[in-house]
Structure 1
């Protein structure tokens, strides 16, 4: 198919869409350093969604689906980009491993599978989609919600247990609290 003529309505719509896309991306780029405010906004949106579910007494399957998706995002956020168990298996062949096992080995910083900004962006989009879905009766499927809550809690506990065991086995911590400080001393 040939490119659209510049004077066709399709070209005008395409130009306008790309203009809005650039403006949207510029606002996203400007919001990057404001981590606390971004997450606060997402938290408020999530509370509005939960309030909607609570007051409407329905759309439990939407809330459950959102919970599963957010759990998946969180697991990707706290997982390393390069799986140490796979690197260790590959490292046995050539004598190297991904994470240092002795003090004299090189330190490699923790790199997330899902960066914080992408985690926030995906979570915000998911909560917004869930909120919009909670206004359409087609998504209000009749389910016994306590079963979904119990199943989600079991799923959360099992996946977090597995993730924590993985973190302990390969000695990595996905969170940093402040900057490390070294005691000043003479050499």
Structure 2
């Protein structure tokens, strides 16, 4: 703007930081969108990132609290990945939805956390945890066997609850596609 009268002039140039950030975000989103169909390559890359993180933690022999937080976050994502988008327990209480019979119609399993978001969140989590291993303040001294056993206990409880939920409401998140008729 030019001084007092508030006219827009040619002397105003775009601020370089926002445009640089916008361009970087556009390029990142472009490559992220292009990676969608490459399921195996994406997961192999994530396994590579996880191995680099594991080697870093092993090499410095520390950051057990960061690893515990990472493992808990990944467990939370896994439970979301294995859970249906609409919880059958809550669907019956809704009242707005019509009651369904077991053989009413085929409804495919829809995840609470889709595969791409699951992959993206896990990859980001490992990268952030890797960066956190370079901050020495976060290397809190803990007795890691107790932390590991507590996480194992947490894992068993949450997966048991999820498996019981799957059996109770008869859904299988590992089935791919619509069931096929097999004849006599």
Query: Which category of TM-score, normalised to the shorter sequence, fits these structures?
Result: 0.7 to 0.9
Tell me if the contact between 1:6 and 1:12 (Cα under 8 Å) persists in the aligned partners.
Answer: no
Q: Where does 1:1-187 land on structure 2 (aligned, <5 Å)?
A: 6-7=12-13, 11-91=15-95, 96-97=99-100, 101-103=101-103, 105-177=104-176, 180-183=179-182
Cα gap change, 1:6/1:122 in structure 2, threshold over 3 Å: closer, same or farther?
farther
CA RMSD of superposed structures (Å): 2.0
The offset of 1:82, in angstroms, is 0.5
Q: Is the 8 A contact 1:76 1:114 kept in 2?
A: yes
Higher Cα radius of gyration? 2
Tell me by how many angstroms 1:95 deviates.
Answer: 5.3
For residues 111 and 176 of structure 2, the distance between their equivalents in structure 1, rounded to whole angstroms, comes to: 16
Gaps of 5+ in 2: 1-10
How far residue 107 of structure 1 moved from its aligned partner, in angstroms, is: 1.3
Question: Which aligned runs of 4 or more in structure 1 are off by greater than 3 angstroms?
Answer: 177-185
Task: Extract unaligned runs of 5+ from structure 1.
Answer: none
